[in-house]
């Protein structure tokens, strides 16, 4: 097979990429999806809160997926379900298997949009045996929303990210007793709206600076031990408290599904995805990334926007309408910033502004986001506060960087007092 643009994954990022690549003039677009439906993780997120900026409407996950899939299908692209990609090489050949067998495909551009995976009990070295009743939030969501099965009657949630918060509400609405949510950080890792709507509205307690220090039970979970932690996240002795429960739901983080690019030794960004430029292209020409495979997003709207950008530049590259220039500016996360994208700028296409996405390391009060080019401040944005749980998006006028080279460092300086 030969295609202009190959896309791995048919979640929001893959669908938006396919839509945009076709709109931009790619003659052939092939999407490989290892599952059997379009929309990815959106299909199990039956709550509302999707699409507020992309569609200017509040939709549920499946509604967002259906709308985006319809728009992409109308543009026309080839699709293989049950297709798992096995390899990618620098000479632009991919191999995959589906129910018809093994295939090889040559492409001009590829977009990695394979989403993310959940950290498991092993990944956080949860003490105790791997017994029934300990499951990830995504698994619990699948049990409930796909199969109509309640994962437990007395549930406890570890991790206050959005998935954990949403599951606290969902389990409560389905008749389970949610005894609490424990969070190892001194602040919640979820969106503020989710803390109010999913915990406060149902009087579910949130235990900050707390973790699970033991799990009890032989075949099935019977209880957990909670302990307080200090600033270094070490357990403080004599703070233990036992909670009887039959399900422990782990909402302890997502990791970009980036192994295929790791095999090509594509440099990583600070969020464990791949380093990309302002057009979502990695350091390997013609290799792009978008969505949770690039960095984990809170909002699908940003995922879809990234897919639109990746699709557009992948199509232009495939059509020989875009030849990337050399890297002009390296972008670095400075003080207070945990990660920042893009990782470098080519500045080869003049636009009104450049978008930067970042998260802060800690809860920050009023201060200023500083953009320093080769040590000199070129742009400042005052912010009332910033939270690590919320991804920030800021635009910087292109004119400030036009024709420049060197290192751009972005940092957050908290205002005194
Ligand atoms: C529980 C939960 C609640 C959320 N709540 C909100 C909300 O309220 N509002 C909001 O805006 N956003 C929310 N989000 C975020 C948003 O929905 C996601 O960030 C977004 O949908 C991710 O899209 P994606 O395409 O990057 O990844 P995914 O949706 O994960 O899609 C990746 C696709 O790639 C496929 N794939 C993986 N590996 C391979 C392979 N090797 N070969 C072929 N295919 C492969 C997968 O099967 C999948 O279909 C939520 C997310 C979750 C998990």
Q: Do 76 and 98 sit in the same domain of this protein?
A: yes
pLDDT of residue 128: 79
Q: Is the pLDDT of residue 140 over 70?
A: yes
For residue 262, CA distances in Å to 44, 143, 271, 333, 369 come to 28, 31, 14, 22, 31
Q: Do 222 and 142 sit in the same domain of this protein?
A: yes
Q: How far is the CA of 153 from the centre of ligand 1 (A)?
A: 27
Q: How far is the CA of 370 from the centre of ligand 1 (A)?
A: 32
Rounded Cα gap, residues 18 and 311, in angstroms = 6
Quick check: CB of 163 below 6 Å from ligand 1?
Answer: yes
pLDDT tens for each residue of 217-234: 989 999 999 999 999 999
- The last residue of one of the domains, among 290, 309, 324, is 324
Q: How far is the CA of 297 from the centre of ligand 1 (A)?
A: 9
pLDDT of residue 277: 97
Q: Do 240 and 308 sit in the same domain of this protein?
A: no
pLDDT of residue 191: 82
pLDDT tens for each residue of 286-302: 999 999 999 999 899 99
pLDDT of residue 280: 97
Q: Do 241 and 386 sit in the same domain of this protein?
A: no
What CATH number does residue 356 fall under?
2.60.40
User: How does DSSP assign 210-247, residue by residue?
Assistant: EEEEEEE-SSB--EEEEEEB-TT-PBPTT--EEEE-SE
Quick check: CB of 62 below 6 Å from ligand 1?
Answer: no
Q: Point out the ligand 1 atom lying closest to the alpha carbon of residue 141.
A: 1
pLDDT of residue 417: 64
pLDDT of residue 389: 83
Average pLDDT estimate for 73-89: 95
Average pLDDT estimate for 188-194: 85
Quick check: CB of 257 below 6 Å from ligand 1?
Answer: yes
Q: How far is the CA of 111 from the centre of ligand 1 (A)?
A: 15
Q: Is the pLDDT of residue 247 over 70?
A: yes
Q: How far is the CA of 9 from the centre of ligand 1 (A)?
A: 9
pLDDT tens for each residue of 122-133: 888 888 778 899
- Structure confidence at residue 367 as a pLDDT band (50, 70, 90): very high
Average pLDDT estimate for 19-39: 97
- Structure confidence at residue 364 as a pLDDT band (50, 70, 90): confident
SS3 per residue for 327-342: CCEEEEECCCEEEEEC
Q: Do 304 and 368 sit in the same domain of this protein?
A: no
Q: Do 78 and 15 sit in the same domain of this protein?
A: yes
Quick check: CB of 13 below 6 Å from ligand 1?
Answer: yes
Q: Do 131 and 233 sit in the same domain of this protein?
A: yes
Phi, psi torsion values for 313, nearest 5 degrees? -75, -30
Q: Do 52 and 99 sit in the same domain of this protein?
A: yes
- Structure confidence at residue 162 as a pLDDT band (50, 70, 90): confident
Q: Do 218 and 307 sit in the same domain of this protein?
A: no
In terms of residue numbers, what domain contains 312? 1-117+254-324
pLDDT of residue 393: 93
Quick check: CB of 11 below 6 Å from ligand 1?
Answer: yes
Q: Is the pLDDT of residue 416 over 80?
A: no
- The last residue of one of the domains, among 212, 228, 252, is 252
- The last residue of one of the domains, among 224, 252, 280, is 252
Quick check: CB of 164 below 6 Å from ligand 1?
Answer: no
Q: What is the dihedral of CA 182, 184, 190, 193, to 10 degrees?
A: 60
Q: Point out the ligand 1 atom lying closest to the alpha carbon of residue 35.
A: 47
Q: Do 244 and 333 sit in the same domain of this protein?
A: no
The predicted model scores a pTM of: 0.94
Q: Point out the ligand 1 atom lying closest to the alpha carbon of residue 41.
A: 29
Q: Point out the ligand 1 atom lying closest to the alpha carbon of residue 37.
A: 49
Q: How far is the CA of 93 from the centre of ligand 1 (A)?
A: 25
Q: How far is the CA of 114 from the centre of ligand 1 (A)?
A: 8
pLDDT of residue 345: 97
pLDDT of residue 30: 98
Our measurement of the distance from residue 300's CA atom to the centroid of its chain's CA atoms, rounded to an integer in Å, reads 9
Is there a contact between 228 and 212 (Cβ–Cβ < 8 Å)?
no
Q: How far is the CA of 216 from the centre of ligand 1 (A)?
A: 33
Q: Is the pLDDT of residue 264 over 80?
A: yes
Shortest-distance Cα residue to atom 20 of ligand 1: 300
Q: Is the pLDDT of residue 168 over 70?
A: yes
User: How many domains is the chain built from?
Assistant: 3
Q: How far is the CA of 107 from the centre of ligand 1 (A)?
A: 24
- The pLDDT mean for the chain works out to 95
Shortest-distance Cα residue to atom 42 of ligand 1: 84
Q: Do 271 and 314 sit in the same domain of this protein?
A: yes
Average pLDDT estimate for 316-326: 95
Quick check: CB of 256 below 6 Å from ligand 1?
Answer: no
Q: Each residue of 353-390: b (16+ CB within 10 Å) or e?
A: ebbbbbbbeeebeebebbbbbeeeeebebebeebbbbe
Rounded Cα gap, residues 251 and 138, in angstroms = 8
Q: Is the pLDDT of residue 145 over 90?
A: yes
What CATH number does residue 15 fall under?
3.50.50.60
Q: Do 174 and 231 sit in the same domain of this protein?
A: yes
Shortest-distance Cα residue to atom 33 of ligand 1: 9
Quick check: CB of 249 below 6 Å from ligand 1?
Answer: no
Per the DSSP assignment, residues forming a β-bridge with 376 are 373
Q: Is the pLDDT of residue 213 over 80?
A: yes
Q: Point out the ligand 1 atom lying closest to the alpha carbon of residue 51.
A: 11
Per the DSSP assignment, residues forming a β-bridge with 383 are 367
Q: How far is the CA of 231 from the centre of ligand 1 (A)?
A: 32
Quick check: CB of 168 below 6 Å from ligand 1?
Answer: no
pLDDT tens for each residue of 59-75: 999 999 999 999 999 99
């Amino acid at each position: 097979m030969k295609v202009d643009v190959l896309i791995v994954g048919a979640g929001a990022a893959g669908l938006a990429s396919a839509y945009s690549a076709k709109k931009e003039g790619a003659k052939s677009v092939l999407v490989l999806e290892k599952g059997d439906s379009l929309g990815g993780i959106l299909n199990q997120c039956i709550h509302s809160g999707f699409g507020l900026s992309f569609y200017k409407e509040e939709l549920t996950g499946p509604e967002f997926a259906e709308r985006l899939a319809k728009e992409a299908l109308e543009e026309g692209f080839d699709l293989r379900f049950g297709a798992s990609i096995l390899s990618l090489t620098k000479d632009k050949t991919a191999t995959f298997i589906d129910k018809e067998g093994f295939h090889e495909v040559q492409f001009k551009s590829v977009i990695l949009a394979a989403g993310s995976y959940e950290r498991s009990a092993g990944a956080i070295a949860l003490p105790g045996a791997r017994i029934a009743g300990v499951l990830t939030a995504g698994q619990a969501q699948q049990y409930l929303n796909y199969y109509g099965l309640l994962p437990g009657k007395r549930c406890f949630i570890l991790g206050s990210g959005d998935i954990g918060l949403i599951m606290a509400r969902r389990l409560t609405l389905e008749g389970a007793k949610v005894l609490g949510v424990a969070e190892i950080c001194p602040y919640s890792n979820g969106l503020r709206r989710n803390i109010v709507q999913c915990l406060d509205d149902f009087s579910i307690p949130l235990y900050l600076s707390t973790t699970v220090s033991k799990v009890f039970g032989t075949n099935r979970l019977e209880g957990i031990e909670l302990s307080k932690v200090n600033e270094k996240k070490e357990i403080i002795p004599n703070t233990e408290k036992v909670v009887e429960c039959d399900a422990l739901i782990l909402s302890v983080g997502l990791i970009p599904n980036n192994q295929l690019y790791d095999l090509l030794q594509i440099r990583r960004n600070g969020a464990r995805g791949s380093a990309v430029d302002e057009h979502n292209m990695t350091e390997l020409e013609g290799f792009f990334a978008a969505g949770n495979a690039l960095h984990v997003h809170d909002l699908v709207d940003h995922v879809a926007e990234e897919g639109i950008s990746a699709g557009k530049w992948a199509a232009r590259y495939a059509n020989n309408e875009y030849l990337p220039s050399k890297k002009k500016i390296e972008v670095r996360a400075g003080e207070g910033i945990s990660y920042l994208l893009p990782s470098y700028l080519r500045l080869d296409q003049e636009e009104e502004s450049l978008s930067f996405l970042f998260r802060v390391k800690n809860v920050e009060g009023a201060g200023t986001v500083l953009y320093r080019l080769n040590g000199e401040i070129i742009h400042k944005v005052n912010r009332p506060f910033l939270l690590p749980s919320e991804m920030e998006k800021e635009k910087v006028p292109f004119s400030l960087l036009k024709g420049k080279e060197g290192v751009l460092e972005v940092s957050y300086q908290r205002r005194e007092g």
